[in-house]
């Protein structure tokens, strides 16, 4: 028996039958799950949109949080300065020149507090939008898993929001 001898016809027949069965199964699945594939395409577009919203709101919330922290640090320094001026007051209050400096610093402090509060309100709104986007993303991911189960694909890959963001070119900072 040489290596070059052709395989027996029965082995070739078995291989052809197996290939035919596999192709037939795939053809059946393609025909049987047409509606599910269409729905999966639709849900995938919606999931991508929700994932991008998750990432955009996370990035914006982080930027606003950093801005608030910076303002808070400045407010703390301003508060210490104002407290130092207040300690120099005697029983009759502050001297006129010092009072004028105190009043200007207090107005600036109050102005920064208003800016900080506006930033905080914006941040709260962005965080609320992020929670809505996360809930939408999770619901769409569950819908995709259900479709996968119906199609006999229980391990359907659901991309994470960061994977979707990278695919669409959204700049995402790496976590420290």
Tell which residue, 136, 128, 134, has the closest CA to residue 162.
134
- Exposure on the CB side of residue 140, measured as CA atoms within 13 A: 24
Q: What is the DSSP string of 86-102?
A: HHT-BTTB--HHHHHHH
Bigger pLDDT: 140 vs 14: 140
Position 172 scores a pLDDT of 67
Q: Check pLDDT > 70 for residue 174.
A: no
Position 91 scores a pLDDT of 77
- Exposure on the CB side of residue 84, measured as CA atoms within 13 A: 8
Three-state helix/strand/coil letters over 135-148: HHHHHHHHHHHHHH
Position 3 scores a pLDDT of 64
The pLDDT tens digits for 64-113 are: 999 999 999 999 999 999 999 888 887 778 888 889 999 999 999 999 99
Q: Model confidence at 155, in pLDDT bands (50, 70, 90)?
A: confident
Contact 153, 46 (CB under 8 A): no
152, 15, 27, 145: CA torsion to nearest 10: 20
Position 173 scores a pLDDT of 62
Position 2 scores a pLDDT of 57
In angstroms, the CA 5 to CA 87 distance is: 105
Q: Check pLDDT > 80 for residue 122.
A: yes
The pLDDT tens digits for 22-70 are: 888 777 777 777 888 889 999 999 999 999 999 999 999 999 999 999 9
Alpha helices in the chain (DSSP H): 9-32, 34-87, 96-150, 161-167
Position 176 scores a pLDDT of 44
Q: Check pLDDT > 50 for residue 175.
A: no
């Amino acid at each position: 028996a040489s290596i070059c001898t052709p395989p027996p016809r029965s082995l070739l027949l078995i291989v052809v039958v197996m290939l035919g069965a596999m192709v037939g199964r795939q053809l059946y699945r393609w025909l049987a799950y047409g509606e599910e594939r269409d729905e999966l395409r639709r849900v995938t577009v919606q999931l991508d949109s929700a994932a991008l919203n998750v990432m955009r709101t996370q990035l914006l919330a982080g930027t606003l949080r950093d801005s608030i922290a910076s303002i808070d640090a400045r407010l703390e320094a301003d508060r210490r300065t104002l407290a130092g001026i207040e300690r120099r007051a005697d029983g009759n209050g502050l001297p006129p020149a010092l009072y004028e400096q105190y009043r200007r610093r207090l107005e600036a402090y109050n102005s920064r507090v208003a800016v900080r509060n506006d930033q905080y309100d914006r941040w709260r709104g962005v965080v609320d939008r992020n929670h809505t986007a996360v809930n939408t993303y999770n619901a769409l991911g569950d819908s995709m898993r259900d479709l996968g189960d119906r199609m006999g694909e229980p391990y359907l890959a659901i991309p994470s929001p960061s994977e979707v963001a990278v695919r669409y070119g959204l700049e995402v900072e790496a976590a420290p």
